[in-house]
Amino acid sequence: MSRDDARTLRAGRRSVEIKRPGKVLFPGGGGAKEYTKGDLADYYRSVAPYLLPHLRGRPLMLERYPDGLDGQRFMQKNTPEHYPEWITRAEVAKEGGTVTHVVCDDTATLLYLADQACLTLHRWLSRTDRAGGPDHPDRLVFDLDPPGDDFGAVREAAAWLRELLDELGLPAAPMTTGSRGLHLVVPLDGRQDFDAVREFAHDVAELAAARHPDRLTTAARKQDRGDRLYLDVQRNAYAQTAVAPFTVRARPGAPVAVPLTWEQLDDPGLDARRWTIADAVDQARTDPWAGLPARGRSLGPARRRLADMRS
């Protein structure tokens, strides 16, 4: 391979080689724009200051497409031996052993993953570098999964869920998934383990569905949902992941999962794929989650309020 077949990008004290930057990862056509591996690397380098705070200390599952969207997909948990030694790793327990995940702590790692044709970064909801470790999440996620592509139903459900969370004293922030739905992210203090957090999330979702039984459901089986929006809380479990804010999704046009303000969610023209790698950095610069408290909330008071509401 000649030097013309690669680009070298600086990231702090490191230089990262992007091999075959002209390789098409997102084919054009059908109204979608074409994007290359070089475009992906440029996007991740530009968005790094806004993305990295959501990744540091968190084990990742990597969604890779070495031959682009038209090729085979790899969901990668374990870190290959050939990855550079300067990339942070986290060894966590799994049934019958351990798995060593990549942890993306810096821009150089982000660029290396782009060179590996890693399109989407799926992060744990816990951190390995905080008290409590990987067993104690500091994020709770409600995944609003609409029937079809009805984003109007997503906006409606998000407003109802926000109202309920406000009653429980828990601030939440919305994020488009870059696919079809929306995530509501609740920062926690990390004192509860995954089982307790998932149980709480399930009880909140059940109450929301009981308040709006014709529009919301917690039924896991699609055939039981009808045309109701599914409130999915299954990501709130040990070793489960959620797409990271500002990560690219493996869909035509390279849409991006983007944090929003609540005011932006009122826009009737909004949909889950509104932003792409062409303009997501502009949204990042507005700091849409600036209103979230710096410290996560304890679930204790919210659990007591919820128990009173359900009694």
Structure tokens at 55: 């990744």
In angstroms, the CA 129 to CA 10 distance is: 27
In angstroms, the CA 302 to CA 190 distance is: 14
CB atoms within 10 A of CB 69: 17
* Averaged pLDDT score across all residues of the chain: 95
With 0-12 / 13-18 / 19 or more C-beta atoms within 10 angstroms meaning exposed / middle / buried, residue 56 is middle
Give the per-residue pLDDT at 131. 79
Residue 193 near residue 180 (C-beta atoms within 8 A): no
The SS3 assignment for 185 reads strand
In angstroms, the CA 284 to CA 248 distance is: 13
Give the per-residue pLDDT at 4. 53
Structure tokens at 198: 């998932």
210 contacts: CB under 8 Å, gap ≥ 6? none
The average pLDDT across 17-38 equals 95
Taking the CA atoms of residue 109, residue 114, residue 116 and residue 121 in that order, the dihedral angle to the nearest 10 degrees is: 80
Q: Does the pLDDT at position 84 exceed 80?
A: yes
187 contacts: CB under 8 Å, gap ≥ 6? 138, 139, 171, 292, 293, 295, 296, 297
Give the per-residue pLDDT at 5. 82
pTM: 0.95
133 contacts: CB under 8 Å, gap ≥ 6? 126, 127
Give the per-residue pLDDT at 3. 40
Give the per-residue pLDDT at 311. 78
The average pLDDT across 290-305 equals 93
In angstroms, the CA 139 to CA 159 distance is: 19
Structural domains of the chain, ranges and CATH numbers in brackets: 3-129+239-259+273-285 (3.90.920.10), 139-237+294-306 (3.30.70.3300)
Residue 169 near residue 228 (C-beta atoms within 8 A): no
pLDDT digits (tens, 9 = 90+) for 131-161: 789 999 999 999 999 988 899 999 999 999 9
